Amino acid sequence: MLPYVAFLHSGDRSIVDENWSAMTAYLNGIMAQNPDGLWSKGRGADLGDWLALDAKVPGDETTPKALIGTAVLARSIDQVKRMAEWTGRTADASKWRARHAIVAHAFVRAFIKSDGYVGNGSHCSYILALGLDLVPQSLRKQAATLLAADIRRRGTLLSTGFLGTPMALDALAEVGEHKLVWDLLLRTAYSSWGYMVRHGATTIWERWNGDTGDVAMNSFNHYALGAVCGFLHRRVGAIEPTQPGFARFRIAPVLDKRNTSFAATLDSVRGRIQVAMNLDRGSPSIRLVVPANSVADVHLVDEVREVGPGAHTIPMPSHLFV
């Protein structure tokens, strides 16, 4: 993951070249033990969806560990496949594309039912499957509906821990659950990020209940639940690289009338990117500055508009904010 993210943001392929043999050896080792693509053997110190809300003790198997392992194996293979494509390793890209298909098919066979039910029905089960594009297209709507309904049933809260939470809001946004995303972002009752803020947090806790949890294992500044900040950059600030070094990036804000405006600036390796949105009902628009040698794909609900270098003002459909 680290070489992938570093290359995506920097455009410097040396981190891929330096780590290629280690990354591929790691994945070859997993596939050698699990040739059918289902990661059931050799998972090592497998903590699962650590500190999930339903766990009585931190490592309880609230989501099947083989499901989590197989899903993140698919992610790792997909990232290696993309790095191969981006660095001109054509034969390697073909090899890892084929292996990804093996793992994805194994995941579907083992964990997705014909009605879209995933795993044991945990939020993490659905989020990994949807967020990593492992649900067949014909079942995505059903799976998304089941996930959203259970989040609502539980009082509009997530039951996820360390592995489900970082992908939760992205997965919901990708299936069109924008209102639910903002309901979760703005929630202040337990358990939520807003609960932490209301109870004096200035950084994100390791535990959803960091104010009352076991002080022997209770960081008050932790990545896992704090990965929500990445979502704010990608889908609220709305700057997300899709090709190395921001050669191409996506502007796809998750829109809601409770967020009446935003502005974000990022100094990329190609120059400064600026995005700002104003939800004035008379003329809602996105203002965008694209640096030289870069292209932005601006998502406007029913269309994607390709925007080249320069300053632009792009009208937004006014009915979105009624």
17-31 pLDDT, tens digit per residue, is 999 999 999 999 999
User: How far is the C-alpha of 242 from the C-alpha of 297, rounded, in Å?
Assistant: 9
Give the Cα-Cα-Cα angle 14, 273, 319 (nearest 5 degrees): 130
- Is 135 in contact with 117 (CB distance < 8 Å)? no
What pLDDT, on a 0 to 100 scale, did the predictor assign at position 279?
78
The interaxial angle of helices 165-174 and 178-186, nearest 10 deg, is 150
Whole-angstrom Cα distance, residue 64 to residue 187?
A: 28
Question: In angstroms, how far is CA 222 from the centroid of its own chain?
Answer: 17
Which residue from 157, 118, 119 is spatially nearest to 139, judged by alpha carbons? 118
Q: Is the pLDDT of residue 53 over 90?
A: yes
User: Tell me: the pLDDT tens digits for 74-129?
Assistant: 999 999 999 999 999 999 999 999 999 999 999 999 999 999 999 999 999 999 99
Within the chain, residue ranges assigned H as helices are: 2-10, 14-33, 65-86, 90-111, 123-131, 140-153, 165-174, 178-186, 193-198, 223-226, 228-231
Assess whether pLDDT exceeds 50 at residue 322.
no
Closest CA to 265 of 242, 246, 289, 284: 289
pLDDT of residue 318: 65
The CB density around residue 266, as the number of other CB atoms within 10 Å, is 17
Q: Can you tell me the mean pLDDT for 33-50? A: 96
Q: What angle do CA 181, 219, 55 make, to 5 degrees?
A: 60
Phi, psi of 190 (to 5 degrees): -70, 135
What's the chain's average pLDDT?
95
CB 286 within 8 A of CB 314: yes
pLDDT at 309: 98
Q: Residues 288, 317: contact at Cβ < 8 Å?
A: no
